Amino acid sequence: MPKNSKAFLPLITAAIFIAMEIAAVAMLKSSSTLQDVWLNRASHRVMGKLWSGGETVRNHFSLSRQNDALTQENFALRERLREYELAREAAVEAGESASMAGRRFTYIPATVVKMSRNSMHNYIILNKGSEDGVTTHSGIITSKGVVGIISAVDKHYSYGLTLMNTNVSVSSRVGRSGMVSPLIWDGKNSNRGMLKDIPLHYNIEPGDTVVTSGFSNIFPADIPVGITGETEVVYGSTSQTEVILFQEFGALRYVTIVKNPERDEISALEKREELR
């Protein structure tokens, strides 16, 4: 081989290599199957990282909001508990009956495990049970208002009926009038209740505050329930008033179980008196 041809050998080799690379790229472009495989792999990796990062961010901000809401709720409940204790002490000093003044309630924080919202008999399951001190006929509340009543208890979980259940009735009092009436769900709207069997001589104005009466053994007095709406006469003998509930059931996550340690003693006394 001539010396000049040897000098051009590296250039020829490089040209052949470049030509083969171009041919390979052309083959990749012409093969839709290969191209789809590589593109799908690449896109899956990218999208997976994006989704993972987005979910992490969402969880972070969601957890932050939940913690903020829980902190505010705990603060509100502590303030309410302090008010109850001050009211109890004032009642004792004023010489009121021990049965009323000594009614202490205990408060157990809980998390909603499951909750139904789409039937006439909605329920709630909480992550606290008998080992945490929960008993049946305990109330369920939040800082916004009444949620429901515990009806069954296991070791680690409790089952309750929510206010969105036609079998639940809460003894309630209307602010300005002081009138006491049972409150039930209207069976239609998640944020609507109804005060029933109101004597006609009571004038219930829209916008009055409705709170728990304290006459039952389940809820302390003055737990917020809602505000009154329109009133209508029923069968010409009594009236009923719409109540817009404070509690929002659509985004319920954390609750507080309200337990009355003296409920059984009070119930036994009431039964004994009824038998006389």
Contact status, residue 12 vs residue 19, Cβ threshold 8 Å:
no
pTM of the prediction? 0.64
Compute the distance between CA of residue 109 and CA of residue 103 in angstroms, rounded to an integer. Answer: 20
Other C-beta atoms lying within 10 Å of the C-beta of residue 189 = 12
Instruction: Look at phi and psi of residue 212 and say left if phi exceeds 0, alpha if psi is from -120 to 50, else beta.
Output: beta
Compute the distance between CA of residue 131 and CA of residue 273 in angstroms, rounded to an integer. Answer: 33
Contact status, residue 256 vs residue 107, Cβ threshold 8 Å:
yes
What homologous superfamily does CATH list for 105-274?
Rod shape-determining protein MreC, domain 1 (2.40.10.340)
- Residue 83: the pLDDT is 56
- Residue 143: the pLDDT is 85
Domain ranges of the chain: 105-274
- Residue 153: the pLDDT is 94
- Residue 8: the pLDDT is 55
What lies within 8 Å, CB to CB, of 149 at 6+ separation is 137, 138, 139, 140, 160, 161, 168, 218
Segment (H or E) for 27: helix 9-30
* pLDDT-flagged residues of the chain (< 50): 34, 37-39, 41, 44-45, 48-49, 51-52, 55, 96-102
